Amino acid sequence: MESIINNSPIIVISRKVEKDFPVKYISNNIWQFGYTPEDFYSGEIEYADLIHPDDRKVVLKSFKYLNNQLSEFVQEYRVITRFGEIRYVEDRAHIKIYDDKSVHLEGTILDITERKHREMINHQRRSNNGKSLNELSLEDVLGLLTTNAERIRPGLTCAVMLLDKKKQHISRVIGPNLPLFFREAMEGLEIGYGVGSGPTALYMGERVIVENIEEHPYWALHREVAKKAGLKASWAELITASTGEVLGAFLMYFNFPNKPKKTCYEYLKANADLAAIEIEHRIVNESFRESEHKFKTIFNNINDQIYVSELNGNLIDVNQVVVDSLGHSKEHILKSSPMDIVPSWYVQRASELIKLIERDHKAMYEAGAIRKDGSVIPLEINARMINYNGKKTILSVGRDITERKKAEKAKLLNESRLEALIQLNEMTTVSLDEIAEFVKEEAVRLTESKLGYLAFMNADETDLIMHSWSNSAMKECGINDKQFIYPVETTGLWGEAVKQRKAIITNDYSAPNPLKKGFPKGHVKLTRHMNVPIFDGGHIVAVVGVGNKEEEYDESDVRQLTLLMQGMWKIIQRKQLISTLSKYSGELSKANTKLRSVNMIKEEFLEDNLKNGNDVLHGNDVLDDETLNLLDDSQKEAVSALLMNSERLKLLIDAILYNNMQQSGRIEYSFEPVNIRNVLSDVLLNQILLIDEKELALEKSIPTGLPPVKGDREKLEETFLYLIHNAITVTPKGNCIRVKVSDEDSCLHVTVTDSGEGIEEDVIPRMFYKMYQVDDTIARMYQGLESSLYICKSTVVAHKGKIWIESKVGEGSTFHVKLPKWEETENT
């Protein structure tokens, strides 16, 4: 969950409602404004410091008003980044009161600078002091564009350079806030390498970024004029028409050296695109006025769709792009009713739009065009009144905004996914079945599918155990005796996600496929299908599937399902761990009750020994063999249960802490040359009392002069302590354990052998899982047999080594660890 938030544009924040609104939590992606969470947690920066001074009073007042009057709000305002940039944000906040009566503002912050910029440009395009856009010259409109772009931060000056018709010289430089002498110096220049950022970009046909004008070769010929104008950095983006023709360049000048970030490139490109649209539309309109011949040339070759229609909506003419896009002949389109080629929702508002165009002589809106195959092309329409062959008509230039709509849709899906993950993370009190049901339905919704299912794997990954189908699938399914266990080996496409251990997408389910096994009569008809395996380490624990999406499934859908299911799996693990902790704690409590009588025996024993002059206060253990002999079988069983469950509880807590540290990336390794003989000697010395207590024979074969391994000594000691302690624990009293080290090529091979009961062959592969699976039902999917071997494996893998087990029931077990040797050429 935290990883998803930190890789999204949405910042999650919690602020305490008091002076300056100190931040109590903020996600790591605050870095997009140049800050870190520690800047706020340390008190170095309060949230009020982030708000633009001109907006601060209003925003803070709104926050206080929210506390008293409202439960939540959405507000837009400006913030200042660490780099001095001014960004617009949308703040969605709600009030939350905690048990300690503290009041917090909790919500999200989203950077909306680009949207605000487009809104301001569109507003300026619609009107300028009461004048229509047609009354403004191209230079005035581009001047408004550059002036508006400069609002993003202090010290920024923008300009547009236009090419002449031969594409060899700079014809005009439009930048109201640039010094006149600088503009005059640039106008008329022949484009070429080293003539400044704009002319060089136009010469090379690509974006140019100059972070420091005083040092960059692109400014070799004009460095002095830039210095005189106070310009220290310059970025240039090509202004390109929809045909691919280069019209000029959009320039951003800074009065300080400046290196762009990712958002800067997007901002630069967005302004160049706005300039391109304006210039291109001007070219179209001027060409229309010049001659019918020029009009037809542009009309049929511009990449946008162009419609000429009467005021009643009937079409008079369309360009070739419309014909190619819709798939009909031009004659068919011109004879068609408007209802045949535009969606019904547009037809309903067509009369209103025509009245608007008649009144204002222009309008911009979104519409759509219906293809021959029935699909709809989303369009952004720029419509205006024109005189066509002496007749008042409407010219509509439609730009295909399919990609933009996809991006908007993806953004909404991402927001929905984030909301689903937040809701999932809050499901701490519901049952596992309810969690699985929620996730399954969300999987269908977020992938825009019509049906879905959720299945869990058995321990050895041989069977898919169907947990449930989505509600929509159950309504369509006509099978009465539904199957719930699917052997992977005999299951068709549904089993391939397990067999191939990756997501499987089938976008044409009806197509012949040798992997398909067919399905019974009455089964839901599938047109598309996708299923995704969910991993816990290297082990597949579940498979989620969805089907019948209208569009094709892609990698974005795979990511949606994977993130959602991983969130579900972590919650399932967490709930089972809590359940296991509760179980062991309960057993300890019962054992402790039984041991109260043991304490009474100890007190009587101590009292008798002290009367007789015996010194028991300096003994190794008050509860020695003599005391234990006084216990009955029930009390001895309680002592045994206490010791066993205490050890299991300790290992479980250790594993939980390790897993949390691992997920948060807080486990760090410090590699150096490590003497493995010294490590094993220290570990054995640590366990010598336990070895003596069990009267075990210790056989060591650890040669002197072994080369060092590349390792983190502390973590290797923990690993071998787990392995050797485990060997001592499982070995019966009076038996033997063995520790051996061999020098093998590029590694050292360590073995730890016990004389215990051994491990069953089918259990060995699962010994290194985070949890050990003992039951296949969802309610008891995992019990709390947490293995310290998972920690051992994680440590060995981090050392680029190998760990495995060899065992036979009745003959004991051998744990193998191979660690790479230290290379003298390695840099510590």
Per-residue pLDDT band for 628 (boundaries 50, 70, 90) equals: very low
pLDDT at 732 over 80: yes
Q: How many residues does the chain have?
A: 828
Task: Please list, in sequence order, all residues whose beta carbon lies within 8 angstroms of the beta carbon of residue 40, skipping any fewer than 6 positions away.
Answer: 22, 23, 26, 30, 46, 47
Q: What percent of the chain has pLDDT over 70?
A: 76
Using the predicted structure, report yes or no on whether residue 756 has a pLDDT greater than 60.
yes
pLDDT of amino acid 415:
76
Confidence of residue 128 (pLDDT cuts 50, 70, 90): low
Question: pLDDT tens-digit profile of 222-246?
Answer: 999 999 999 999 999 999 987 789 9
627 vs 706 pLDDT, higher one: 706
Handedness of CA 629, 632, 633, 636 (dihedral sign): negative
Please report the pLDDT score of residue 680 as a whole number: 93
Q: 672 pLDDT band (50/70/90 cuts)?
A: very high
pLDDT of residue 805: 92
The alpha-helical segments, DSSP class H, found in 214-319 are 223-228, 262-290, 292-301
- Give the model's pLDDT for residue 622: 39
Residue 306, pLDDT above cutoff 80: yes
Q: What is the pLDDT of residues 392-435, one digit of tens each?
A: 888 888 888 888 888 877 777 777 777 777 777 777 677 777 88
Q: What's residue 237's pLDDT?
A: 95
pLDDT of residue 283: 72
The owner of tokens 């009909």 is: 328
pLDDT of residue 737: 94
* Per-residue model confidence as pLDDT tens digits over 789-824: 878 888 999 999 999 999 988 889 999 999 999 987
The reported pLDDT for the residue numbered 186 is 94
pLDDT digits (tens, 9 = 90+) for 264-282: 888 888 889 888 878 877 7
Our CA angle for 488, 531, 469, nearest 5°, is 85
pLDDT recorded at residue 612 = 55
364/590: higher pLDDT: 364
pLDDT band at 65 (very low <50, low <70, confident <90, very high): low
Residue 487: pLDDT above 90? no
pLDDT value at residue 710: 93
Which pLDDT band, with edges at 50, 70 and 90, does 188 fall under?
Answer: very high
Phi, psi of 481 (to 5 degrees): -95, 80
H/E segment holding residue 728 = helix 713-730
pLDDT at 64 over 80: no
How far does Cα 7 stand from its chain's mean position? 4
Q: In what order do the strands lie in the sheet with 812-820?
A: 697-701, 736-744, 747-753, 812-820, 802-808
- pLDDT bin (cut points 50, 70, 90) of residue 211 is very high
Average pLDDT, the chain: 79
| In the chain, % of residues over pLDDT 90 | 22
CA distance 358 to 354: 6
Q: Which of 134-138, 438-442, 477-481, 810-814 has the lowest mean pLDDT?
A: 477-481
> What's the helix, strand, coil split of the chain in %, to 5?
45, 25, 30
3-state SS of 450-512 is: CEEEEEEECCCCCEEEEEEECHHHHHHCCCCCCCCEEECCCCCHHHHHHHCCCCEEECCCCCC
Instruction: Report pLDDT for 403.
Output: 85
Please give the residue that has the higher pLDDT: either 454 or 635.
454
Residue, of 746 and 762, whose pLDDT is higher: 746
Whether the predicted pLDDT of 491 surpasses 60: yes
What is the rounded average pLDDT of the residues 288-310? 66
pLDDT for 480 beyond 60 = no
pLDDT tens profile 352-361: 888 888 888 8
Q: Which residues sit opposite 210 in a β-bridge? A: 234
Higher-scoring residue by pLDDT: 145, 99: 145
Chain segment 5-30, per-residue pLDDT in tens: 666 788 888 988 888 888 999 988 88
Determine the average pLDDT of the residues in 34-60. 87
End-to-end CA distance of the chain: 35
Neighbours of 685 (CB within 10 A): 9
Residue 342 has pLDDT above 60, yes or no: yes
**pTM for this entry:** 0.39
